[in-house]
């Protein structure tokens, strides 16, 4: 069921639950209409000036989508996306949380934002001049990557006919990739850098504690049918319920949102934030996966099966854009022979690196 609707100027969101309206009205004690600001009517709520978000977006030519079910709104212009949630002082800017002094609110069924939202969010983010500055730093979006070589120690993973073990292949590719990224000034964390067994839960914990921008898990595949072959990239399946993940993430602790402090926030607020982060991460992961497949195809003369969704544990757990890369099938004799070769493994690493860079630059090209 699709609850989303695009708003145009002057149209209020409908279908809000009575309970929520009551909640918001409780917050809005002593409201009074304040002076018109930049042609937009404003309201004084607890001494803070608020303006309707729809009017502000209309004035600044920003596209606005409001979801009456989740009470979240998405502001979009060029490639900048801002997500807000009624009742929260925390907003997401391109998936990263920002804490503000006053919450976004519902007032008489209209989503309103503090007047300061115009100067602190809309002006700096949606102004073309500021966006153009970012063009000079094409890779700046990705500063830190966590690489997770699958298996290790007592767990060899898939084993090829000639005895080539997945745990050795993926560790080698991960290390080559780490060198390539570090040469480009990107910080790298590895979930393992030796032949050791690390349980999945520990990999996920390490991933989330790393505060990296992206998570890359490296594996090699196997199939009973030895003809099956190809390079594949997986992102988390949309059949994984984001709200369940969000609630469990929120129960763990406050979101790992960098400088943001939401330790006093309710479970519901934290879950909503996580839900927004996961939704954003899935789209980003698909984009990253697509980009990696494309550039690996340029590097190696092999079948690229493309991107697929799956319910892998590490992907479900990662609280950032995350992909799991299957570099090839060890059960296929051709691919096992290729993966034995250091030059081929280097090409795979070069392809993944190039894919990540293209992904990082795609966003910047859109600022043009
Ligand atoms: Zn594996």
Question: What would the pLDDT profile of 147-184 be if each residue is shown by its tens digit?
Answer: 999 999 999 999 999 999 999 999 999 999 999 999 98
Burial class (CB in 10 A: 0-12, 13-18, 19+), 78: middle
Q: How far is the CA of 149 from the centre of ligand 1 (A)?
A: 9
Out of 71, 100, 128, pick the residue that ends a domain: 128
**Two tokens at 251?**
């129960």
Is 124 found in the same domain as 166?
Answer: no
Q: How far is the CA of 160 from the centre of ligand 1 (A)?
A: 12
Q: How far is the CA of 170 from the centre of ligand 1 (A)?
A: 9
Is 83 found in the same domain as 162?
Answer: no
Residue 281's pLDDT band, with cuts at 50, 70 and 90, is confident
Nearest CA-CA partner of 325 in 154, 186, 113, 170: 170
Is 9 found in the same domain as 114?
Answer: yes
Is 245 found in the same domain as 166?
Answer: yes
Q: How far is the CA of 198 from the centre of ligand 1 (A)?
A: 13
Going from the C-alpha of 307 to that of each of 37, 149, 177, 237, 314, the distances in angstroms are: 48, 19, 20, 11, 17
**Residues 324, 312: contact at Cβ < 8 Å?**
yes
Average pLDDT over residues 229-254: 74
How many other C-beta atoms are found inside a 10 Å radius of the C-beta of residue 170?
Answer: 28
Q: How far is the CA of 339 from the centre of ligand 1 (A)?
A: 14
Q: How far is the CA of 221 from the centre of ligand 1 (A)?
A: 6
Judge whether residue 22 has pLDDT over 70: no
Degrees to nearest 5, angle at CA 188 with 186 and 194: 150
Instruction: Select the more confidently predicted residue: 162 or 9.
Output: 162
Out of 128, 147, 171, pick the residue that ends a domain: 128
Is 188 found in the same domain as 80?
Answer: no
Percent of the chain with pLDDT over 90: 32
Is 162 found in the same domain as 20?
Answer: no
Instruction: Select the more confidently predicted residue: 110 or 20.
Output: 110
Average pLDDT over residues 187-194: 96
How many domains would you assign to the chain?
A: 2
Q: How far is the CA of 320 from the centre of ligand 1 (A)?
A: 20
Going from the C-alpha of 347 to that of each of 101, 192, 244, the distances in angstroms are: 49, 22, 39
Judge whether residue 241 has pLDDT over 90: no
Judge whether residue 251 has pLDDT over 90: no
Is 167 found in the same domain as 95?
Answer: no
Domain that holds residue 73: 4-128
Q: Strand 110-114's sheet: what is its strand order?
A: 32-37, 40-45, 48-52, 110-114, 105-107
Is 222 found in the same domain as 301?
Answer: yes
Going from the C-alpha of 152 to that of each of 158, 170, 189, 245, 284, the distances in angstroms are: 11, 9, 17, 27, 28
Beta strand 110-114 with 48-52 is: antiparallel
Q: How far is the CA of 95 from the centre of ligand 1 (A)?
A: 29
Judge whether residue 214 has pLDDT over 70: yes
Q: How far is the CA of 319 from the centre of ligand 1 (A)?
A: 21
Is 147 found in the same domain as 124?
Answer: no
Out of 95, 128, 161, pick the residue that ends a domain: 128
Is 282 found in the same domain as 257?
Answer: yes
309 Cβ partners below 8 Å, 6+ apart?
234, 235, 236, 237, 238, 239
Q: How far is the CA of 152 from the centre of ligand 1 (A)?
A: 10
Q: Which of 43-57, 236-250, 348-362 has the lowest mean pLDDT?
A: 236-250
């Amino acid at each position: 069921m699709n609850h989303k609707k695009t708003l145009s100027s002057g149209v209020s969101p409908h279908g809000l639950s009575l309970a929520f309206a009551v909640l918001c009205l409780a917050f809005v004690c002593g409201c009074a209409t304040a002076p018109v600001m930049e042609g937009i009517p404003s309201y004084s709520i607890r001494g803070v000036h608020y303006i309707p978000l729809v009017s502000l977006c209309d004035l600044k030519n920003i596209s606005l989508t409001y979801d009456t079910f989740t009470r979240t709104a998405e502001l979009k212009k060029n490639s900048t996306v801002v997500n807000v949630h009624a009742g929260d002082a925390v907003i997401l800017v391109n998936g990263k949380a920002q804490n503000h002094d006053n919450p976004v609110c519902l007032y008489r069924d209209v989503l309103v934002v503090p007047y300061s939202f115009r100067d602190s969010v809309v002006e700096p983010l949606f102004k073309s001049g500021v966006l153009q500055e970012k063009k000079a730093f094409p890779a700046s979006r990705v500063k830190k990557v966590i690489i997770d070589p699958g298996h290790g120690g007592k767990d060899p993973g898939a084993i090829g006919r000639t005895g080539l073990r997945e745990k050795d292949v993926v560790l080698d590719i991960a290390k080559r990739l780490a060198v390539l990224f570090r040469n480009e000034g990107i910080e790298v964390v590895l979930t393992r850098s030796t032949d050791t067994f690390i349980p999945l839960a520990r990999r996920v914990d390490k991933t989330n504690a790393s505060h990296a921008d992206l998570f890359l898990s490296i594996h090699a595949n196997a199939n009973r049918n030895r003809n099956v072959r190809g390079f594949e990239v997986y992102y988390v399946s949309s059949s994984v319920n984001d709200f369940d993940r969000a609630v469990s993430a929120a129960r763990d602790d406050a979101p790992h949102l960098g400088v943001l402090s939401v330790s006093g926030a309710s479970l519901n607020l934290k879950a909503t934030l996580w839900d927004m982060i996961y939704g954003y991460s899935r789209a980003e992961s698909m984009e990253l996966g697509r980009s990696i497949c494309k550039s690996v195809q340029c590097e190696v003369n092999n079948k690229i099966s493309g991107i697929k969704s799956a319910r892998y544990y590490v992907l479900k757990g990662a609280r950032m854009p995350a992909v799991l890369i299957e570099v090839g099938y060890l059960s296929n004799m051709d691919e096992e022979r290729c993966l034995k070769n250091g030059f081929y493994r280097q090409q795979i690493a070069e392809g993944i690196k190039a894919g990540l860079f293209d992904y990082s630059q795609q966003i910047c090209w859109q600022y043009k």
